Structure 1
Amino acid sequence: MKTGAIVDGSVRQTKPTERPREPEAAPAVEPGGLARLLRGSTLSARAARSSAFAAAGFGAGQAIRLGSNLVLTRILFPEDFGLMAIVLAVTTGLALLSDIGLGPAIMQSRAGDEPRFLDTAFTIQILRGAILFLATCALALPLASLYGEPLLGAILPVAGLSLLVSGFLPTKIETAHRHLRFGRVILLDLLSQIAGTIVVVALALWLRSVFALAIGLVAGAAIRLALVWVFLPGRGNRLGWDRPRARELVRFGIWIFASTACAFVVQHADKLLLAKLVPLDVLGFYAIAQILASAPIALQAAILSRTMIPLYRERPPSASAHNRVVLRRARIGAAGGTIALLALVALVGVPLVEFLYREPFTRAGPLVVLVACALMPAAALAGIDQAALAAGDSRGFFAVVAVRALAHLAAFLAGYALFGLPGAIAGQAVAVLCAYPVLLRLLRRHGAADPALDAALLAASALLALLAIGVSVEAIAGLALE
């Protein structure tokens, strides 16, 4: 039987004489079986262990983030959060617009453990970080003029330093992801987040200014860099350049670059557009609603981004029925759990915000409900497009993300024109459904399509969203965010 292989970033067919990999036997259900699964070295054990680490680390990270947010809302003003939302959208957007997929390339490449390959990737990453910092400096004054916020001209270059610092992160992180060994990476991320939060709160108490958030961003990046270089096991990097490996990285990454440019539209264009459409304090409320409502899907992304490419690489669904069952179960657990958490956030969104925040930040409550509901379709379909990247099909992956970005932009603007901010948020859900046919076509190409499961998860999302909106309909109808 022929099986797919990844060679130089493209999919080729192996010879019929090659013996396919035997499917891994499912772990027996017996006393102590779970303990052996979590301690084992098989793919299932590593995936389960990595998912558990990712979930625990994310939960702890969100608790730190929420605590920091609650403290900062008692020190700073809504306008400060709105201004920082623009800064983060710009810096994150630049990072996405320049992403050539070094992480996925290391995870999927046969050369992903070779020192020369890793050093070449490290060198490219440093150059990219320097270019991003210069780009934030160049954009600072034009954006300050565009949004009528002079402070942006000074804050953006400061925040851009975090991109320069992050460029020096070693590839030991991607190597750990490649082999599904996340424990130490997540622990170091949490320590850097705690230290960064302490710095931000101390600066906020001292400066009483949005500059505290920007300087804290740089401090957090520097602390993470130091911790990873010193305490993460593995080979350190040095500057190096291998032309064939650089070509492989660029060949794979060119479509990742295009895909992340489109991902920027999906993830951050809403904030940049709203910065021109609504007052700065309303943008601050929306940013807070995003923090609370997007926590479940961010947890899902933290797990899937680290596990799905290795799973699809070693368990291609077209290879055997057993592989399809394993992947289906993983998806049901990840998507079903995320949808349930989003529904819970939507149901308690208004009273939760009223309990946690003081006035005027309680105006974010109805927005939490709407954002959580709008994210449910994305949660239902999350991670399955990674089947293309695992097969080296970054071009097909780009096609899906590009259609999703165009649909997102069009639905967001149309929704705002028709129904204001609630309509714009609902447009994000509509965009996911509009892009689904293109996604389904890609999945069929790689034998990973499961339209019956897609329909079931989307239907569950719709029912739960209607229930949550019904519970908070009065608060949503009373939105007065002019």
Structure 2
Amino acid sequence: MGSNLLLTRLLAPEAFGLIGLAMTVVVALSLLSDIGINRSIIREPDGDTPAFLQAAWRVKVLRGLIIAMGVCVAAILLWLLGPHFAAPESVYADPLLPGLIATTAFVALSSGLLSCNSDLANRRMDYRRIVTVKLSGQLISILATLGAAYLNGSVWAIAIGIIIGAIADVLLSFLCYPGPPMRWNADPQIAARLWKFGRWIMLSSALSIFHTNAEKFILAALLTPTEFGLYIIAVTWLGFGMMLFSTLQGRIGYNAFSEISLSRRHDLPRVYRKLQWLADLYLISVFATLHFGASPLIDLLYTDTYSEAASFLSLTAFGVLSARYNLATELLMSLGDSRALGIASSIRSVALVIALPLGYWTGGVVGLILAYALYPLVQAPFLLFRLHGHLPRSVNLMDLAWPGLVLVLAVELVGF
């Protein structure tokens, strides 16, 4: 966020829209091929052995190559077709976009080269080392971006910073994490186990392309580059608010659930209820800050050029409340029920296909953004039913009432 605030003094709003859409493409293709390698390393009994880590690294490298090639193909198609099909004032018509998308292929390639010893550190919950390494990589990326923006003043400054940060992450993953050396281990049995656990995750991740990026692909065709850049600023703040929650649920919640399910499963409902109560308190606090404080926040931290981002931020803030059931998915995953994740993603996909057109038809861009923020709530009944099947004492009244309360709140506040 500090980097974002400084860059808004050096770059125009449309720069954030262009790089935001370019990164959306590489994220979408990454989700399309995600089989949960890091989760397998954490949950498998032999996930900390050299053979398993090396076999997992081989799969990661191949996946990174495939994603990078897909990104290049997307850039070529946009370069060839964009001028003919995109509206002249839309983001897709900007001549810089194909080149920016092609540049992000390097990010996909480098993510595949990351040492699996970083996942081993996650399994061991060595968070002091993890945080230190990640902060070091972020600092290198931020300094490179700010330096390039000061010298260049265009969207390419952000692209340069992203590439340098990706290189730093790869080097740090090999230099700073202890563990076995990465080798090309083509063990068919380990590969089969990775696929058996990850196939449902792959379905869920493939569907997540629409869940996490659908509104950006649509809004890029409806908004000008400047307006889309302001929307990306709002989404950045939403991500900032959700960062701590996502990190804790993925690294603390999942790891804790996995450990307890193996050693003392009877304690899972109690631990889950305690963590869910803390999560509810955090999500409500973040929502209140971002929704009611959007205008003061943007006016205080940004120049007048970015003031319209506040209206986008107040709408996207409802997405914080919709993330409430993410902790339940972590618990189901720790129990080995990856199929539930795939089914829940399918439910969300159907809801998204219905919600976005309906939202745009009833409220234009505002309705579309609000529909996108609220649609994840539709998966709640299935997740609670599945969770009750595994742990009957884990579901309570608040779990059932939350979606209705959020919908009523959204209608009242947006109407007001």
- Residue 238, structure 1, aligned to residue 183, structure 2: yes
Following superposition, the deviation at residue 319 of structure 1 comes to 6.6
Deviates further, 382-391 or 316-325: 316-325
- Residue aligning to 2:87: none
Output the aligned Cα RMSD: 2.2
Deviates further, 129-138 or 225-234: 225-234
Measured against aligned partners, the alpha-carbon deviations of 1:332-355 in whole angstroms (never above 9, x if no partner) come to: 112321221221221111111011
Letter in 2 for 1:124: V
Measured against aligned partners, the alpha-carbon deviations of 1:264-323 in whole angstroms (never above 9, x if no partner) come to: 211112111111122221111111001113322222111101122222223349976543
Letter in 1 for 2:110: V
Matches within 5 A, 1:200-349: 200-316=145-261, 322-349=267-294
**How many pairs align?**
405
SS at match of 1:153: helix
Segments of structure 1 that go 5 or more residues without pairing to the other structure are 1-65, 474-482
From 94, 97, 103, the counterpart of 1:158:
103
Q: Using the alignment, how far apart are the partners of 2:212 and 2:137 within structure 1?
A: 24
- Residue aligning to 1:138: 73
- Residue 109, structure 1, aligned to residue 54, structure 2: no
- Residue 389, structure 1, aligned to residue 324, structure 2: no
- Residue 73, structure 1, aligned to residue 73, structure 2: no
- Residue aligning to 1:362: 307
Letter in 1 for 2:223: V
Q: 1:317 to 1:457 in 2, by over 3 A?
A: farther
Identity over the aligned pairs, expressed in percent? 30
Contact 1:266–1:408 under 8 Å retained in 2: yes
Q: Using the alignment, how far apart are the partners of 1:213 and 1:413 within structure 2?
A: 33
SS at match of 2:104: helix
TM-score (norm 2): 0.91
- Residue 351, structure 1, aligned to residue 286, structure 2: no
Following superposition, the deviation at residue 94 of structure 1 comes to 1.0
Letter in 2 for 1:247: A
Letter in 1 for 2:10: I
Measured against aligned partners, the alpha-carbon deviations of 1:65-123 in whole angstroms (never above 9, x if no partner) come to: x2211221122112211111110110111111111110111111122112111100001
Q: Using the alignment, how far apart are the partners of 1:445 and 1:259 within structure 2?
A: 21
Q: Using the alignment, how far apart are the partners of 2:44 and 2:317 within structure 1?
A: 36
From 376, 380, 390, the counterpart of 1:432:
376
Q: 1:414 to 1:313 in 2, by over 3 A?
A: same
Q: 1:318 to 1:434 in 2, by over 3 A?
A: farther
Q: Using the alignment, how far apart are the partners of 2:261 and 2:55 within structure 1?
A: 29
Following superposition, the deviation at residue 456 of structure 1 comes to 5.4
From 344, 362, 365, the counterpart of 1:421:
365
Q: Using the alignment, how far apart are the partners of 2:377 and 2:408 within structure 1?
A: 15
Q: Using the alignment, how far apart are the partners of 1:274 and 1:221 within structure 2?
A: 28
- Residue aligning to 2:89: none
Deviates further, 421-430 or 194-203: 421-430
- Residue aligning to 1:93: 28
- Residue 121, structure 1, aligned to residue 121, structure 2: no
From 141, 146, 164, the counterpart of 1:196:
141
SS at match of 1:237: coil
Letter in 1 for 2:278: G
Q: Using the alignment, how far apart are the partners of 2:413 and 2:150 within structure 1?
A: 38
Contact 2:230–2:306 under 8 Å retained in 1: yes
Q: Using the alignment, how far apart are the partners of 2:156 and 2:335 within structure 1?
A: 44
Letter in 2 for 1:150: P
Letter in 1 for 2:122: H
- Residue aligning to 2:88: none
Deviates further, 309-318 or 237-246: 309-318
Q: 1:260 to 1:74 in 2, by over 3 A?
A: same
Letter in 2 for 1:323: L
Q: 1:429 to 1:80 in 2, by over 3 A?
A: closer
Letter in 2 for 1:105: S
| Greater helix proportion | 2
Contact 1:96–1:261 under 8 Å retained in 2: yes
TM-score (norm 1): 0.79
Letter in 1 for 2:231: Y
Q: 1:319 to 1:453 in 2, by over 3 A?
A: farther
- Residue aligning to 1:441: 385
